[in-house]
Amino acid sequence: MEPSSEEVLSIVIQRQSIIQLISTDSYTKPQLVDQLDVSRSTVDRALRELEQYGLMNKNDSQYTLNPYGRFIYQTCIYYHDVIKKSLELWDIRNDIHSSGQVPPNVLYDSEIFVPTESIPDLPAKKLFEMIESILSLHLVLPVLTYRIYDNLHQFVSDEDSSLELILPPEGIQSLRQFEDERCIEESTLITDATNIPPYGFGVYEDADRNKQMNIIIFSNNGVCGLIQNSSRMSTFWGEQKYENINHSSEGTDEIVEPAESSGNEISEISE
């Protein structure tokens, strides 16, 4: 009788220590007893179970995980990592899930930055480090804080950098307030969007044409979470979402008349 998937999964979870050892090398039974610091009867029972479910090979007195066993084990480890990654989103999960617009696979293989006691503004730090190291950035923001504006302003001061930025109407009003202290270059054209999600997101490209997608989670105090993912699926999702918002724009809120392009444009794209 074929074992059920639940039975195989249960064995992999229960016998993870021994599976981890024999997944990369061959071990004798005495070596496993010594390495795991358990009784011989415990190792005997574990090896019988792994052999019963077709996960292990035995050559003479050597035990090793077979290709099927390695596949099952690596798959379990992968999804364990996905669950662990999801738990890292605990503090900002409602901001993501309530929007209903972030597909779960975008979160796979992501780097997630949330505030820590030692670095309470870690997400913002990582976001601004990213901004400093790239050449072009397509960015959508539900709000515009002064700190983000200040960093974007520095970003576009580099003649080799270009930015396309989408803001809602209230973001445009914030920008006008910021301009009281620091005026944006005359090459800047700002337009506004009205159907952007409650989180920010952006796709950027570095000098080597490597792309990465970022999801920016906001609270009342600014950036409270950052999710970075360079997978093709995530960057494609970000690019498509950006284009959909860009092309569905209905109006333009022009802040200044654009001068001839100098290569350092902040162009906010209307929505």
- pLDDT per residue over 89-125, tens digit each? 655 555 554 545 566 677 777 888 888 889 988 988 8
Number of other CB atoms surrounding residue 121 within 10 Å: 16
User: Residue 201: its pLDDT value, please?
Assistant: 85
Say what the pLDDT of residue 31 is: 92
What CA dihedral angle connects 181, 186, 191 and 197, to 10 degrees?
-50
User: Are the beta carbons of 263 and 190 closer than 8 angstroms?
Assistant: no
**Which pLDDT value is given to residue 206?**
81
pLDDT at 171: 73
Contacts of 26 (CB under 8 A, 6+ apart): 59, 62, 63, 64
What is the model's pTM?
Answer: 0.59
Query: Could you read off the pLDDT of 132-149 as tens digits, one per residue?
Result: 778 888 888 888 888 888
Residue 58 has φ and ψ, to the nearest 5°, of: -125, 120
Q: Residue 162's pLDDT is what? A: 81
The residue ranges of the chain whose pLDDT is under 50 are: 97, 99, 181-183, 186-187, 250-271
The pLDDT score that the predictor gives to residue 63 is 92
Dihedral over Cα of 226, 211, 172, 196: its sign: negative
What is the 8-class DSSP label of residue 222?
Answer: E
How many angstroms separate the CA atoms of 251 and 245, rounded?
A: 12
